[in-house]
Amino acid sequence: MKDSYAIALLPGDGIGPEVTQAAAAILADAAARHGLALAFTPCEAGAGTYRRTGEAISAETVRTVGEADAILLGAMGLPAVRYPDGTEIAPQIDLREHFGLFASLRPCRLFPGVPSRVRTERVDMLIVRELTEGLFAGRHDPAEPSDERASDRLTITRATSEKLFDLTFAQARLRRRQGRPGHVTLLDKANVLRSNAFLRRLFDEAAARHPDIATDRLYIDAGAMMLVTDPERFDVVVTENIFGDIASEIAAGVVGGLGVAPSGDVSESRGLFQPSHGTAPDIAGRGIANPVAAILSAAMLLDWLGQQHGDARCDAAAAAIRAATGAVLAAGPRTRDIGGTAGTEEVTGAIRAALAAPALAA
């Protein structure tokens, strides 16, 4: 345990500052109620920073982030602000690469009160997405300008895959202790892609190292369909970078959309937590953004600190945030993206009030 935890805040662009402010307020409330000291340091990065300074993230910000115990990020990037090669500003990807954040943890849970377009009663899964390889491996490869062809490199390595799968099985074991099935499903395209056949072989080796965890293997096309038609079958899903990016968005859609979908990008020793949604510039500044995904990401941040430092106070504060958020989602108020009429401040205030309720304080 530590006396105080340093939290770097990266609000970013669009609705990022609005939802980050909400999540930081909830974090501060939960920490105070559970005897935790959090020191917040706001940092600049993103498309707005690039437009103003010519760099998306400064060396000073990277240094501050590196010194923090955990990072809370809002959302970054704006469609109209791009690098000369046409790609969007995405310093969150730069941070993944710089700090070796090789896995994205994306829990997708259907909360009571949140409408779903899928006929299902109970969805509670975790998508584990590899972050640094797959089709992102060649992100910085030199490319000859051509009007005739373009290609991207897909690379899978043993070193990263073994870390990814060991983390995945550890998450399954943790979920089983919490009353969930503790089952891992691999999604791949091993029938066509040599890289994915290699990935499946590495998964089989990992499964042999963790014989207490049941496993399954599905091709990504069939698995994507089942995420919609039979989401209750999944507990922990692991896959490569691009498949994971798509699968986690599908799963988020099943449980009500990106407004209720948190995520954490982690390595063995570092964690960055952010809502799965983007910057939504069309609603930025209007006070109607859904803060729930950011708030649940803050709960994940506390979970991670608790695991890293053996601090039960963090675990209790995270559980309290989830309980308060679940209570408000069930009874309202809710934002309009999930069937309500409330704004960001009203929902945040309701969650803060629920967090302070005697039942949760106990």
Instruction: Calculate what percentage of the chain has a pLDDT beyond 90.
Output: 89
pLDDT over threshold 80, residue 43: yes
Would you say 281 and 79 are in contact if contact means Cβ atoms under 8 Å apart? yes
Residue range 205-234: mean pLDDT, rounded:
97
Residue range 285-296: mean pLDDT, rounded:
98
pLDDT class for 139, splitting at 50, 70, 90?
A: confident
pLDDT class for 362, splitting at 50, 70, 90?
A: very low
pLDDT class for 22, splitting at 50, 70, 90?
A: very high
Would you say 236 and 66 are in contact if contact means Cβ atoms under 8 Å apart? no
Would you say 132 and 152 are in contact if contact means Cβ atoms under 8 Å apart? no
What is the chain's mean pLDDT, rounded? 95
Residue range 107-122: mean pLDDT, rounded:
93
Residue range 15-43: mean pLDDT, rounded:
97
- The span from the CA of 159 to the CA of 329, in Å, is 41
Provide the token pair at 330: 């069930």
pLDDT over threshold 90, residue 121: no
Instruction: Calculate what percentage of the chain has a pLDDT beyond 70.
Output: 99
**What pLDDT, in 10s, does the model give residues 161-171?**
999 999 999 99
- The span from the CA of 164 to the CA of 229, in Å, is 27
- The span from the CA of 13 to the CA of 46, in Å, is 6
pLDDT at residue 140, rounded to an integer = 82
**Cα-trace Rg, the chain:** 20
- The span from the CA of 209 to the CA of 223, in Å, is 24
pLDDT over threshold 70, residue 338: yes
* Identity of the residue numbered 203: F
**What pLDDT, in 10s, does the model give residues 52-75?**
999 999 999 999 999 999 999 999
Residue range 65-93: mean pLDDT, rounded:
93
